[in-house]
Amino acid sequence: PVYLDGHATTPLAPEARAAMDPWWHQRAGNPNSPHRHGRFADAAVETARRQVAELIGAMPGEVYFTSGATEANNLALIGSVLAARAQGDTRTQLVVSAIEHKSVLNAAHALERQGITVATAPVTADGVINLERLSQMISKATLLVSVMAANNEIGALQPLAAIAEIVRASGSLLHVDAAQIVGKLPFDASVFDYVSLSSHKMYGPMGIGALYVSGAAAYRPQPILYGGDQEGGLRPGTMATPLVVGFGAAAALATTELHNDTRRTRALAERFEEALRERQVRFTRHGAATARLPGSVSVAFDGIDASELIAAVSDQISISEGSACQSGQITPSHVLRAIGLSDSLLRSTVRIYFGRYNSEDDAVLAAEAIAAAVAKLRLRTGDRLQ
Ligand code: PMP
């Protein structure tokens, strides 16, 4: 089947894979070792740090490698609370949005057990954070605001410049989970305090990511793991040189491919919707027409059970219900709930992503497969009106 689930993970870029190759064996070495192999590995890690920094408009020294965006999100939230406390800062409130990834929401909930209060800002039907409500929630007691740049289920893009202005006026810290946007759209980290990145969402390897910590942030997070003094003591543990090198190569590639990718993937998503309409399939697409991650399509086929649809097309295409991190759970997506979908629309929503390695044929094939399956399923459920 054709892979169309780039929100869950993107295929490794061949260029990143080639860059990683020598670091598994021929050039193996711990970047902390003082011998020649160690020095080479260390130099490769620092090159990757520059490549990642360049993609997000940061200084290399502001990029700390982690195991992924989950760890970066935990480090930003828990580490900044620890740092603030250590400095005698008495602010105890976090503000998050209702559509954050579970690694933000659950880290925030864990902090609730330690005297932190969490306020959750609602979103509009398009999945955009309600700025009025957000500013009402932020007060002198707000230590940190955490919002995502692009949503991993519906692709909604957030008005980050406006959010940054609101948060800056309050003196609170601002963390942005940029896992889904970096490498897909231009992104400037330097206006934020902390930014989380994930390599496997931008055609780099799995198991590596980064936390950007602005040199101007009021606090550098305290570590949440204890060990050696790698990554400036912020994130101990032996650096995974091949993964870091692959992440760096993917970042360098994104720097040059970004505009091409954006144009192509946006056109593929449009072609898919057009092909559905050509086949007279009834559907509702979630999220705004323009403020959306290019290539991302969250779409409901009224009256159809999403899991049945996904199974029916699984020989031709791999698509998903909401978030992969939630699949297997019975609870419906908190994101689709937050945009106010009815239970029936929520159950009939699938998530599709057209990425760098997809073609127009893939977009048409997806529409064909879905049109056929929807017709069959609607017939079966007795809905002959479609
Ligand atoms: N944040 C967002 C918005 C995501 O989409 C994901 C991945 N589903 C993560 C965080 C977690 O990233 P990682 O897989 O690198 O831990």
- Domain residue ranges of the chain, discontinuous segments joined by +: 2-7+258-380, 14-252
Report ipTM (2 d.p.).
0.99
Tell me the CA–centroid distance for residue 101 and ligand 1, in Å.
7
First-residue to last-residue Cα distance in the chain: 27
For a ligand 1 pocket test, name from 52, 180, 194 the mutation site with the most ligand atoms within 8 angstroms of its C-beta. 180
Q: Residue 386: its pLDDT value, please?
A: 45
Pick the atom of ligand 1 nearest to 72's CA. 16
Question: Per-residue pLDDT tens for 8-23?
Answer: 999 999 999 999 999 9
**Sites in the chain below the pLDDT cut of 70:** 323-330, 381-386
Ligand 1 centroid to residue 80 C-alpha, Å: 19
Ligand 1, atom nearest to 150 Cα: 3
> Please, is 138 exposed, middle or buried when counting C-beta atoms within 10 Å of its C-beta (0-12, 13-18, 19+)?
buried
* Fold of the CATH domain 2-7+258-380: Aspartate Aminotransferase, domain 1 (3.90.1150)
Instruction: Give yes or no on whether 2-7+258-380 and 14-252 have one common fold.
Output: no
The pLDDT score that the predictor gives to residue 380 is: 79
Residue of the nearest CA to atom 12 in ligand 1?
69
With beta carbons less than 8 A apart as the criterion, state whether 197 and 166 touch. no
Q: Point out which residues pair with 196 in neighbouring strands.
A: 177, 211
Classified by CATH at the fold level, domain 14-252 comes out as Aspartate Aminotransferase; domain 2 (3.40.640)
DSSP 217-282: -S-PPPPSS-SS-GGGGTS-S---HHHHHHHHHHHHHHHHHHHHHHHHHHHHHHHHHHHHHHTT--
Question: Which pLDDT score, from 0 to 100, does residue 290 have?
Answer: 79
Pocket of ligand 1 (CB under 6 A): 68-70, 73, 101, 103, 148, 152, 177, 179-180, 198, 209, 325
Locate 129 and state its tokens.
Answer: 């954070």
Q: What is the helix (H) or strand (E) element at residue 133, kind and residue range?
A: helix 131-137
User: Quick check: 348 and 302 in contact, CB under 8 A?
Assistant: yes
Task: Give the closest residue to 141 by CA, choosing from 116, 106, 114.
Answer: 116
